[in-house]
Structure 1
Amino acid sequence: MYSKGDNTPEVVFGKKNDDFRDIKKLLTDDSRMIKTQVNYMKSNSQFVVSHFILECCKRLEAKCITTATACALFHKFFSKADIKSYDPYLIGAASIYLAGKVEDDQLRLRDVINIVHATLQRSNTTLLLGDEYWNIRDAIVQAELFLLRMVEFRVRILHPHKYLLHYLTSVRDWMDERDWMAFPVPKAAWSILQDLYHDPFVISCDPSITALGVLQLALEIYGVQLPLLNGIEADRPWFRSLNQKASKERVWDVMSRCMGVYAKEREALEPISVHIQQQQEEEHHVLTD
């Protein structure tokens, strides 16, 4: 896989190709989720519902580890169930609420209900305490119990985050201080890791390998070469010093899945998304006609 052809690390990761530039642009656009609105009612795919969970957690100001747990619980559920047989948005809402309990994050059920409802309906109004509110509340509580049974009450999940923090500390010690300050490698790696939770792959891959793949991709995006250490193309790349289980194939697999998430984002979300500014202009045009 790595000896010949256009798929070698030297070719794929030795330069800033169009994919890297696209990912870099997405990573530096902190407001991309704010500037666009996804019409979730148009899709029930696992990728789109995962994006829904990420957006709701952001609006709830949940901890990043809570967000990761919510997505992981959602993926674990649908690793055992057919997504066509259940309401994925209800399971997503239950996953958020349960993740708040698991990670000791204070997510009130009423806040979860209001954010989930507002995100699905694209409404800025708070849901009144009426029949609709109580029906949604009962549905989420029942879905939470069902979710617990489906994941066999195994809700504690080992995430790659702690490994990534450890690896970033090592890389900072290896890099020149000016380079470390010049390139936002930690922020990029953290963002890539959170975005990877769109993909069920994240719950099946060794978390320590996931963290290395995410970090390697962040380094490649900014063209950073660790001084006096071998790159991914070497017989003994730099990450083998941190993790003996790591191999070029496994790290490359993680990097490929990360890049696949961003490709999937364009494919799955753009057709059902609208830019908020564009929508406001169209509404203004209708009102003034």
Structure 2
Amino acid sequence: YLNPESDPLEVDTKFWELRDSIVQCELLVLRLLQFRVSFNHPHKYLLHYLVSIKNWMNRHIWERNPISTVSWALLRDSYLGDICLRFEAQHIAVAVLYFALQSYGVEVPGNENAEKEWWKVRVPEFTIN
């Protein structure tokens, strides 16, 4: 019971109305999600990207700037809209990490002399637009 002190809900018209309203809400959510209820989450990609970027970075720069914290916050915020449904998980993970780095003006070491940008190494088809 959620409310052990209260009496159990009687199976009457109120019960069936509550049940039907819950079913209608569930169907609405399914329609909004376009019935895509399982998808590849970007969390595992972001974790991998953060570890690799951290290993490239100067330790003092990494400790002074909350790149990891901001990246995770941006990723959580991306679930407030339909971004997780419209874009691939790898793209979302790279985008939030890129934005976190840009927000603090942090450059990835060696990126300016590299043949490919750091995000192209992670996700070759990704573009910054």
The match for 1:200 is 82
Deviation at 1:239, TM superposition (A): 0.9
Deviation at 1:236, TM superposition (A): 3.0
Q: Distance in 2 between matches of 1:136 and 1:235?
A: 63
The match for 1:248 is 128
Deviation at 1:198, TM superposition (A): 2.6
Deviation at 1:211, TM superposition (A): 0.9
The match for 2:93 is 211
Query: Which structure: larger Rg?
Result: 2
Classify 1:220/1:135 alpha carbon distance in 2 versus 1 (closer, same or farther; 3 Å).
farther
With normalisation by structure 1, the TM-score equals: 0.36
Classify 1:230/1:199 alpha carbon distance in 2 versus 1 (closer, same or farther; 3 Å).
farther
Classify 1:164/1:142 alpha carbon distance in 2 versus 1 (closer, same or farther; 3 Å).
same
Listed as ranges, the gaps of 5+ residues in structure 2 are none
1:32-47 correspondence runs (5 A): none
Matched, 1:159 2:29: no
With normalisation by structure 2, the TM-score equals: 0.73
Deviation at 1:197, TM superposition (A): 2.1
Classify 1:137/1:169 alpha carbon distance in 2 versus 1 (closer, same or farther; 3 Å).
farther
CA contact (8 A) 2:45 2:93 kept: yes
Output one character per residue of 1:29-56: Cα deviation in whole Å (capped at 9) or x when no partner. xxxxxxxxxxxxxxxxxxxxxxxxxxxx
Matched, 1:239 2:110: no
Matched, 1:177 2:65: no
**1:239 is matched by which residue type in structure 2?**
W
CA contact (8 A) 1:229 1:238 kept: yes
Classify 1:241/1:141 alpha carbon distance in 2 versus 1 (closer, same or farther; 3 Å).
same
Deviation at 1:183, TM superposition (A): 1.0
The partner residue of 1:187 within 62, 69, 80 is 69
The match for 1:224 is 106
**1:191 is matched by which residue type in structure 2?**
A
Classify the secondary structure of the residue corresponding to 1:198: coil
How many residue pairs get aligned? The number is 121
**1:245 is matched by which residue type in structure 2?**
E
**1:242 is matched by which residue type in structure 2?**
R
Output one character per residue of 1:200-227: Cα deviation in whole Å (capped at 9) or x when no partner. 2331111111111110000011111111
Listed as ranges, the gaps of 5+ residues in structure 1 are 1-107, 111-127, 250-289
Classify the secondary structure of the residue corresponding to 2:79: helix
Classify 1:154/1:209 alpha carbon distance in 2 versus 1 (closer, same or farther; 3 Å).
closer
**Matched-pair identity in %:** 32
Q: Distance in 1 between matches of 2:17 and 2:117?
A: 51
Q: Distance in 2 between matches of 1:201 and 1:245?
A: 18
RMSD value, Cα? 3.4
Classify 1:136/1:229 alpha carbon distance in 2 versus 1 (closer, same or farther; 3 Å).
farther
